[in-house]
Homo-oligomer: A and B are copies of this chain.
Amino acid sequence: MSSVKEVAKRANVSVATVSRVLNNDPVVKQATKEKVLEVIKEMNYRPNLLAKNLRKQASKTIVMVLPSMSNPYFSEIARGAQAAAYDFGYHIIIGTIESKRWILDTYVNLLKTNLAEGMIFVSSSADNELLQTLVDEYPIVLCTENYPGIEAVCVTIDNKRAAYEATVELLRRGHRSIAYIAGNRQSSSVLARIEGYKEALLEAGLAYNPDFVTGAKNNFESVVEAVNGILGKGCRMDGVIAHSDLQASYILKGIKDRRIALDDSIGLISFDGTFIAEITNPSITSIVQPLYDLGYASVHKLVLKLQGDSAEAPEGLVILPHALVIRET
């Protein structure tokens, strides 16, 4: 209810002075400052940020879009992003796309209507075309998924290396027929991971057989279908690398339900390392991604861009470390 005007009147100063106190302008005389602060407290005054934002032409708000929240993979990233936004003094709006274009548009509109200053795309939340037009006009950061041809900072892990390590681990255990259940899209991370998988096989003197590689959506039926598709080609497998913990958990469930003709003693390694990998039976060996840090770093880079700190202006790839954690599979 109260405004700078009323505070000014009560404190016997001008609105300019109140504003200066509010913004910690060191030019204000100590005594004046104290009086104003006292009045502010006494009136329980809070500045109207709607006005401040308009005047400063800045919302101090960023948005992060993710495919969904149902996978704990994304919630961890969101958690890191939230912490970073707070640390750097920004508001953050976290939205899930759920594969619906109109939802994505809602968030993009925040940018277009000045309600947000920059945006972070996690995983494959948008297509190349949209991304290109946005990158030209607004500060954008990519998290997890790089887009070929798009000139934007991308914070991710070394997917190729990680898949390489997972494959090497399975080979080390003596597995020789390793299937790769990839993500749905031909995204850059999927491609990089398959590269790493391939490299490890070749290094071990094994042939790369495309029949052992297929994609699956993030639901039980699709994963069962994917594994059975490989099996159906007459391929026998003794190891599997899965695109996510969730996918791996579906494989275990499929095996248990006899929907998949495999034994759960199969070598199984998944990406992500969320708590999902720990609550299944058997628990799943996985490539643990630094999810919190990926979210945090993405926001950090975006803030750097917003503040136009050209010295630290981030460009290109930011690679964060992953780790292979051995569990029961």
Contacts and interface: CB of A to CB of B under 8 A. Distances in A.
Query: Which of A46, A47, A70, A281 lies at the interface centre, i.e. has the most chain B CB atoms within 10 A of its CB?
Result: A281
Interface string A199-233: 00000000000000000000010000000000000
Contacts of A47: 113
A6 interface: no
Interface stretch (A32-40, A189-197, A246-254, A308-316): A246-254
Given A69-B75, A114-B49, A82 B96 contact: yes
A192 B105 CA distance: 42
Nearest to A48: B114
A77 to B, nearest CB: 10
A267 B102 CA distance: 44
A74 to B, nearest CB: 8
Contact of A72 (B70, B93, B96, B106): B70
A51 interface: yes
A252 B281 contact: yes
Contacts of A76: 70
A91 interface: yes
Given A50-B59, A252-B279, A280-B280, 15 more contacts: A48-B113, A48-B114, A49-B114, A50-B50, A50-B53, A50-B57, A50-B114, A69-B78, A70-B79, A75-B96, A79-B96, A82-B96, A86-B106, A249-B279, A253-B278
10 contacts: A46-B113, A47-B113, A49-B114, A50-B57, A50-B59, A51-B54, A54-B54, A82-B95, A252-B279, A279-B280
Interface of A: 46-51, 53-54, 57, 59, 68-70, 72, 75-76, 78-79, 82, 86, 91, 93-96, 98, 102-103, 106, 109-110, 112-115, 220, 246, 249-250, 252-253, 256, 275-276, 278-281
